[in-house]
Structure 1
């Protein structure tokens, strides 16, 4: 809580409010939360949607021996292709039908934006039904990170996030999630992400911080994670390089802890007090700060994996020194060594008066957390100049116009 000096000279407190758009409300006037995906047509079933056993069954149904599934896995997960012409180890007779049946096109690239340095690319993808999603590919020294989308739109309705302004269009399939990685790996292999550091470069880190609330699309996200980490029948990535984030869906956090897949778990907290978080993160009306932190601590206890706390620093809204103290106290009350805090200077959306905290406020927030023994790292806001940073992913009117004239890939 605030110390006496802060009470005598209170800091300015800005309340969360939408700008340029109207937040959807329920019958009681509360921000509308969409947990269920609206009913729409489903994307075609893809190899990545299936278990290895189901892949063999489907290949057999398509008139080929079951072992052809393994060949398709290698072409797709290792060579990053779904082009039948490149699969010369498959028999010519029936090859087109087999590949189209197992690897149907899922994403059409509408446009890409690249930073001047060439180390960050934002992709706009058109899905089979015309829905638009984005992913962001980033090169760092020693690693390549891809920020993937798990839903078209988002139903969590957070007032400071561009993605949630239009609500939830639909859940993405596991295949659509995986295809973002495959297409990114193809771009890397073709040398389009700047000079390579070594041969065979590919995406090393995945962050589920693109469009959507990953844990609201739980089953498909977990199927995608299994494909990412499967060394025999999938991409073969390390689970430790995969970060699954949430705004605080407590039952799903507990379920994730029981999966026995040691992904990194990130809780997007953004406020340590319920009074502010109720307004800033509408799902806090269901599960309060302490419930979310208890579930996060439970994840650490179950997996041994240190939890990340994501905290967007917004000027005069949630960047007060006393909030850093309160956050540190709440984390320490649940033990030491289980958590790491990532403050993130807010990435404002076009036309917004919401803005990042001052450098002095950022430094003071970090100093107070570190003074309480909380490991804290101020996040690099990569991709701001192409609206590819956290909270900026949204299909604009210009994007929609370009997408409307872009034919779907065959």
Structure 2
């Protein structure tokens, strides 16, 4: 009964969002879709989901919204026949759905988005804002349109959640605890929290566009060696030297792209977390900001959110496949053991192996997708980190933003250069794969 009540409240919440733009007969403003994305990100941050899991939430919520809109838009294509294992979602039959009223596909898409996302987060009530206060300011509405729209959104959401249930996520929750390798050069947990390995089995999740997790397997990292002058120790020394002479701009860049949801504050014996945006959340924000500034409509904005989500999702699968294959040691561990036991990186080292750089992979993948939709020289201001006390940054292109995201990991002291360079190459391959394989409109990628 409690679940029924929650779903009913969610229905009225979504309807109220649309009513803010007028009646259900009017076309809701595209800003409501961006607001929905922002609300989902807020919950993901609150619930402290790991970057890979956060990408999974974005993927299925955005797939639900997009597939709902496609049913009312002949110019765009479903993921059916393109995405791995994606089900056929039939358009509503005239006699079943339209006898007593029309369908507002945007209202239905919002409901599908929130309903799907709500099933994948812990704090579902946070997605609703205050439904009662919004409804109190609403006027009359067409009940037939409203019910038809929510029925359609629920139907699509059910199909997407069924697709999600088959991605092997549940099976990875039951795997044995990760066992650390005792070989030299292998990753071990780092201070201050010494947190256990995050998502060591993520490569077993079903990708969307990739043939396999290893499709874009990068070259191996430099061979581990503590001999002075070795390729590896040159990379270690670069991290050590660079982090000891950072300028204000480099510190700002590292902080802007930190995106560490595991950040742990330590004050004596007191430990507490600071909730931060995930790397994927940062790129979803960039997608939203640029779609708004470009004045893109509902279906185009939804398509870009979905393509960006796929790039992030497949990017994390590919990256995590390599991370737990190479299990490469972090700079903090090497520098403390062989160069300077008091050295600490500017950023906290995240709790998973070093190679390749996750931010480098997913940033390059997302940038490829966004460039395909908005062009190689699309300049934009990124306001993503202003809620966290950081200034707006201007970028001349998505590639420039991705390049900065990558090098920020060197400035932050958490990655070697090889992980960044090879991670960016890995990500670009994934982004191009998404563009070429997932064609939501015939002109995409051409």
Do both share a fold (TM > 0.5)? no
Structure of greater relative contact order (alpha carbons < 8 Å, 6+ residues apart): 2
Q: TM-score, normalised by structure 1?
A: 0.27
TM (normalized to structure 2)? 0.26
